[in-house]
Amino acid sequence: MINLHDIRYARLGTSDLEAAITFATDIVGLQLVAREGKSAYFRSDRATVRGDTRDHTLVYFEGDPADHTIGIDLLDPDDLDALGAALEREGRPVHRGTRAECDARRTRDFIATTDPSGNQIEFLARPFNSGVRFTPGRDIMIDNFSHVGMFSTDPKRDTAFWTRLLNARVSDWLGDATFLRINTVHHSVVLMPSTRPGIQHINHQVEDIDDVMRSYYWLKQQGVKIVYGPGRHPISTAIMVYFEGPDGMVYEYSVGVKHILPEQEATYRPRQFTLEGYNGDMWGSFAETEGLPREPAAARRMRLVV
Ligand SMILES: [Fe+2]
């Protein structure tokens, strides 16, 4: 069985690299650490929180805004060959990273593939860490890059890809959306039903509720579109706010995500939540973007009557 260790990065194409850099640093609060050719690298990890810092956790590159990739490292880097063979047996594409591609991803080795929906995933062996201290791009205490929501054309099929092949565990379901964990964090990847693949949102954990609420007001004052929250997810217990970035990408800040500890693994059972009110946000907000719980028409009608 192949075991995953941690989500490492998201790579996003953009038609306007300068605008994406400005947003990632001045608005999201990431740190620009490198520019190479048509790519920009950002960091987000506080060593005091994670115990380490990933070399980078986000890359914007000049390219198709629909071109999204996530990187995840293997618990045992020597499993890379076995993973390649397993992917081939499943009929998935397998591309072994060239030296130049490895250098661009700051890793010793990797395999690029896709899930059955067509989401681009890179499995990394020995990705680089860094001893350089993270300095946020604005006044916000970002702790780390924590998870992505990914669109799926068939969450049940794609869940099997993650659980059978990669030993991910289902933490919970919200409607048909599946929350998957690969370590103690409640979810590193969420599969959200859609008609297309791609990254739906990128989450950063922040230090406390003040970072969420201060960001909510500050983002609105900057003219950034808030698309969900502020609120609290009952599923993960995290307090959150979601906002829209370049090319329609959604960013999330949250604090307090639930962990499922090793001693709880044997007895933990995933829970099913419906998409009804208060199940996505127990404070009552609904999302204004695809993939997250939208306000049902019935609730809207009821509110009009009241
Ligand atoms: Fe999230």
Ligand 1 center from residue 203 Cα (angstroms): 6
Give the predicted TM-score (pTM) of the model: 0.95
Per-residue model confidence as pLDDT tens digits over 228-268: 999 999 999 999 999 999 999 999 999 999 999 999 999 99
Write down the domain spans for the chain: 4-127, 142-301
Please give the mean pLDDT across all residues of the chain: 95
Per DSSP, 255 falls in state E
| Ion ligand 1: residues, Cβ under 5 Å | 203, 252
Residue 129 has pLDDT above 50, yes or no: yes
Q: Which phi and psi angles does 173 have, rounded to 5°?
A: -125, 140
How many angstroms separate the CA atoms of 82 and 5, rounded?
16
Ligand 1 center from residue 189 Cα (angstroms): 9
The alpha carbon dihedral of 11, 248, 169, 159 has a sign of negative
CATH superfamily, domain at 4-127: 2,3-Dihydroxybiphenyl 1,2-Dioxygenase, domain 1 (3.10.180.10)
> Domain 142-301 has what CATH class?
alpha beta
Buried b / exposed e over 118-149, threshold 16 CB at 10 Å, is ebbbbbbbebeebeeebebbeebbbbbbbbbb
Per-residue model confidence as pLDDT tens digits over 86-98: 999 999 999 999 9
Beta carbons within 10 angstroms of residue 242's beta carbon: 25
CB 144 within 8 A of CB 136: no
Ligand 1 center from residue 138 Cα (angstroms): 21
Q: Do domains 4-127 and 142-301 have the same CATH topology?
A: yes
